[in-house]
Amino acid sequence: EEQREDGDTMERENNSKKRLHTFIQMSKNITSNSSLNELIKDIISDVIDATEKADAGFLLLWDEKEQLLRIEAAVNFKEEMYLKNTLLSGEGISGKVFASGESMLLHAEEIGKAMSNMRHQTMEYYLKSTVNTLMPVSCISVPLTHLNQKIGVLTIDNFLNDDSFNEEDVEFLEAIGHQIAISIVNARAFYEKQKQANQLERILS
């Protein structure tokens, strides 16, 4: 009994260290990547590593001009399929989270129902982009907001582990979501400045 408790304590401490490292790493990633897409892939990978049971995830950003959510990057989804996909506000799980501004934790029996309002083609693209063409065991979707403005959604899935996510996982994703939103806004400004500097350099030369 004592050995099991010690093991549980050690596991919790390791998870806490991973999550703290993820917070620290978030701001460093901006200057170590050459594009927003690469930055977001690194962010998703770090979040998956720090979230026990997570094995896949994707991040959508709101396109103000087109009024829809675009998948900016994903981990353990097929890129040739997910890049074709977009979601309307209120469509599917991520669309609902964006529209409401509230996180969702869903288990297997709830996921199909939550995705039932997706357009046929959108659902096909989603299923074809998953590794095993199956619905997740559980998923967490959290809104990304910056200065009270919604900029996107982060959704983390669990396909391969029989255990489901819990409220503690939601709290972590909500907390890291604020940091992710700041990183994305800062990265956009950073890459735009880099682009302008490169253009100016070309003109001068």
Q: Is the pTM of this model over 0.75?
A: yes
pLDDT tens for 107-143 read 988 999 999 999 999 999 888 898 766 789 999 999 9
The β-bridge relationship of strands 104-107 and 138-146 is antiparallel
Element spanning 109, H or E: helix 108-114
Phi, psi of 77 (to 5 degrees): -125, 155
Nearest to 29 by CA among 46, 11, 51: 46
- State residue 10's pLDDT score: 59
pLDDT band at residue 92 using 50, 70 and 90 as cut-offs: very high
The confidence band for 189, taking pLDDT boundaries of 50, 70 and 90, is confident
The residue-averaged pLDDT of 48-62 equals 92
β-pair partners for 153: 60, 143
How high is the pLDDT of residue 28? 57
Span 67-88, pLDDT tens digits: 999 999 999 998 888 888 899 9
DSSP assignments along 82-108, one per residue: HTT-EE-TTSHHHHHHHHH---EEEEH
Phi then psi dihedrals of residue 117, to 5 deg? -90, 10
User: 149-158 and 138-146 as β-strands: parallel, antiparallel, unpaired?
Assistant: antiparallel
Amino acid 42 reads D
Instruction: With cut-offs at 50, 70 and 90, classify the pLDDT of residue 33.
Output: low
Dihedral (Cα; 89, 90, 95, 96), 10-degree rounding: 140
Residue 180 to residue 148: CA distance in whole angstroms: 14
pLDDT of residue 80: 84
Q: So what's the pLDDT on residue 192?
A: 74
What is the reported pLDDT for 115? 94
Please state the φ and ψ torsions of residue 74, each to the nearest 5 degrees: -150, 160
